[in-house]
Chains A and B, each alone.
Chain A
């Protein structure tokens, strides 16, 4: 009898602890969402045009309810210039962070991101090919550039998977294959740049900086749609990734996880999300690497919480970087890819130097 009650008491204690930790994490998530909302409002209120918060709100509402009567100029500034940029920062930040979190989970390596496995180099190469061999004026072939960047990014992901499969899709082979392809595409891009004309070279380099300035609503919509489709699938694999992280391949298999399938699907979906984003925005570095780490630091390594937290943190990092990029030397706007790298490096080093011993485990 006493043994049972002791066990029951123990059980209740563990359940209570677990419930508390879940509540804590949920609160952190909600706090993050609040911060994100605050940043969104800030982003909409910041800009060279002199608009007060009231003007911003009125302009926002006028598009939906013309009776609000904001001047057409304000409406155009909010709906055509600031909103697309802000929304793209949110979805792109979330998408890149989630891809990074998933890839780090399946490879159990904190330094992995979609960029590490060559996706950004391949996309840059694809864009350069379109710029060099597309029609003479790059603009007419903008669709060609976006399409090519996406195509080569996905090609690289498939190649990484194919190469790794020859060796059993272990994390090490995935990473090594990815690094090799990253260097290959980088070298190929350099060759193209060597023979490019002045204008082509500038276009190629400009593409690699990463910018949110010219995003359109259509592009934002496509990124949001891809994310909306892929995210639930990644969330569904959360427990499998937890098992992988806790015990490794063998332990996960013994728990019934189809390790190969989880890895392949995660790799391809992460590549899809990343490729979609960077083919529109150019290469925006560090978000996919740093955001999952920040999320992990705040909320632990449990993939069920890590994925939504990465979305929120990714959105925050991207939006904050965009605000900085627009404000620091206004009216000149820095390309956001530069800001995320400059902001990301010290943050990353800080986390690296101060990480706890159990930082990398779940819970």
Chain B
């Protein structure tokens, strides 16, 4: 028994020795003086999408992005050269050919597991992350606090706060004029759509069934629904499931047929790199061929479309209402060409060659 007692005592001693650094670490965690040599720079306070007020240098010259949406916005604002660290999602886009300027920019982990050491080494002025996916801006800030690096949460995919986020970004960059012009370019068609759509009587609004990647997978209109129901409403349509709050769910095919949608849209991955419309055509015919939908208004009137997530997902949600409105009400929007807007966005703002297939059948210009 005495040997056992000795063993226990040894273990307790080891535990105390091990806990000593914990005590030291705990004691110095709060109120750290900050390791970064904070040079005297002007700063401003911005509000991010996690409702935090963050002080950042003005302007920010070195940015680390932890998601690919901010990268696209920075490119559009002509500030992509300020990015000094990217995440793996952005790296995938760089490899796909979207941002050649970032070919040699170091990868600092993923949005789920940021590599704090690498970020600290790059000495950025600000880290831009997602506002509500873990780790949250507040948690990332805790880890980067000793290095004096502020963290700002901006999503650029939630349409209701999108323009506020772009304004905030523009302010941090000290590119207020460019930002205002960029916002105007996007808002002008969206405001025009909102105006014209307001005049469509309620009983003439088209009901829309938007299917995602899965068969019968659709978005609940009472919740955020990945932004799709909001897009449908902004385009003057009526979501087929306005009472469901589940984000994304599998609907009963009989129920879909019974609700008789006026329009059906099938979301498709791929868009920019497509050279012909065969993939979209196949997707569209698959829906048209479904026996339970044969009698629906959408199929009978030829109002079934395959539409790319490149214009309805992520940072491109801003284009969704444009394409949907044109498809739903071609007469009301006879003079509007959503692809022309997208083309200007690609060519003037993202420096990309215009290409790709975004909707089938074509909705005309």
Which residues from chain A sit less than 8 Å from chain B, CB to CB?
22, 33, 47-50, 63-64, 71-73, 75-77, 79-84, 87, 90-91, 137-140, 142, 194-199, 201-203, 206-207, 209, 211, 213-214, 216-218, 220-221, 224, 227-228, 231-232, 235, 238, 304, 308, 311, 330-335
Contact = CB atoms under 8 A, between A and B. Distances in A.
A202 B22 contact: no
Residue of A87, A197, A207, A209 with highest tally of chain B CB at under 10 A = A197
B112 A206 contact: yes
Residue of B8, B22, B249 most packed against chain A (CB within 10 A): B22
A102 to B, nearest CB: 15
Contacts, number: 156
B57 interface: no
A64 to B, nearest CB: 6
A265 B5 CA distance: 21
Contact of B11 (A77, A196, A308): A308
B247 interface: yes
A331 B21 CA distance: 27
A213 B139 CA distance: 10
Given A80-B32, A197-B224, A217-B26, 20 more contacts: A33-B14, A48-B118, A73-B36, A76-B35, A81-B143, A194-B246, A195-B246, A196-B247, A199-B133, A206-B133, A206-B134, A214-B142, A217-B22, A220-B25, A221-B26, A224-B18, A224-B22, A235-B11, A331-B109, A332-B113
B25 A79 contact: yes
Nearest to B250: A194
A224 to B, nearest CB: 5
Nearest to A235: B8
B147 A142 contact: no
Interface residues of B, number: 60
A157 to B, nearest CB: 24
Contacts of B143: 80-81, 214
A274 to B, nearest CB: 18
Contact of A231 (B11, B29, B246): B11
B195 interface: no
A198 B247 contact: yes
Which 10 pairs of residues, A with B, have the shortest CB-CB distance? A139-B136, A72-B35, A76-B146, A48-B118, A217-B25, A76-B35, A48-B117, A333-B113, A199-B132, A331-B115
> Most chain-A CB neighbours within 10 Å: which of B12, B132, B147?
B132
A129 to B, nearest CB: 16
Given A218-B26, A304-B4, A308-B7, A335 B15 contact: no
